[in-house]
Chain A
Amino acid sequence: SQQGEEDPQALSIQEGENATMNCSYKTSINNLQWYRQNSGRGLVHLILIRSNEREKHSGRLRVTLDTSKKSSSLLITASRAADTASYFCATAGGSGGTSYGKLTFGQGTILTVHP
């Protein structure tokens, strides 16, 4: 079963615009990660934010985490056509042990960036 929901399901923007994707989850977490997937192939890790962090940056990516609302957002600034892909949030369990390595993914957001 999926951990939560991503919003929107699809996003279409012009090159140069910013793209914001949201993710909600249901249980306590150790960390939340964002992955990118091109054309139904393997996932590429983008960024990880731990449960005690509120914001993290990596290049054109900015991730926020609100554990009180069980939600996260991914902002891609100055988008490029090459950013066109599906984006998934994934949570890693908060209790450690065997649940720590299990990632629970959302349904994903399909981002299309038009040149």
Chain B
Amino acid sequence: ETGVTQSPTHLIKTRGQQVTLRCSSQSGHNTVSWYQQALGQGPQFIFQYYREEENGRGNFPPRFSGLQFPNYSSELNVNALELDDSALYLCASSTPGTGEQFFGPGTRLTVL
């Protein structure tokens, strides 16, 4: 069974640029959630995708957008990067109704 994978591991961007982060869900999982974790804080829910549709969104502006593909992998896109977007971005996959989410290792984004 393959776990959740994320790419890239680290990324450095400058303010105003755009970034795309990628996530492959665990085999058999059709739901992907994205979280942002600032240094020293708990993760904050960005949004969730279920069967290629957005299925819930946290308190993040529209410049945070996502996609889910037919194989259930997912992308997180962030436009017009701001310094405060520097964080660890975590992807988690799950199946509806089970509650437990399986997290990938994260992508650490630094915005200069």
Contact = CB atoms under 8 A, between A and B. Distances in A.
Interface of A: 1-2, 30-31, 33, 35, 40-45, 48, 50, 88, 90, 92, 98-108
Contacts of A102: 33, 45, 48, 56, 58
17 contacts: A1-B44, A1-B59, A2-B41, A2-B42, A31-B99, A40-B88, A41-B105, A43-B90, A45-B100, A45-B102, A48-B99, A88-B43, A98-B48, A101-B56, A102-B58, A105-B43, A106-B42
Contacts of A98: 48, 55-56
A57 B90 CA distance: 27
B55 to A, nearest CB: 6
Given A99-B56, A101-B48, A101-B94, A42 B104 contact: yes
Nearest to B55: A98
Interface string B43-60: 111001010000110110
B16 interface: no
Interface residues of B, number: 32
Nearest to A108: B42
Contacts of B106: 40-42
Interface in B8-58: 31, 33, 35, 37, 39, 41-45, 48, 50, 55-56, 58
A92 B102 CA distance: 14
B43 A43 contact: yes
A25 to B, nearest CB: 12
B42 A101 contact: no
B101 interface: yes
Interface in B68-110: 88, 90, 92, 94, 96-97, 99-106, 108
Contact of A43 (B55, B59, B103): B103
A100 B56 CA distance: 9
A99 to B, nearest CB: 7
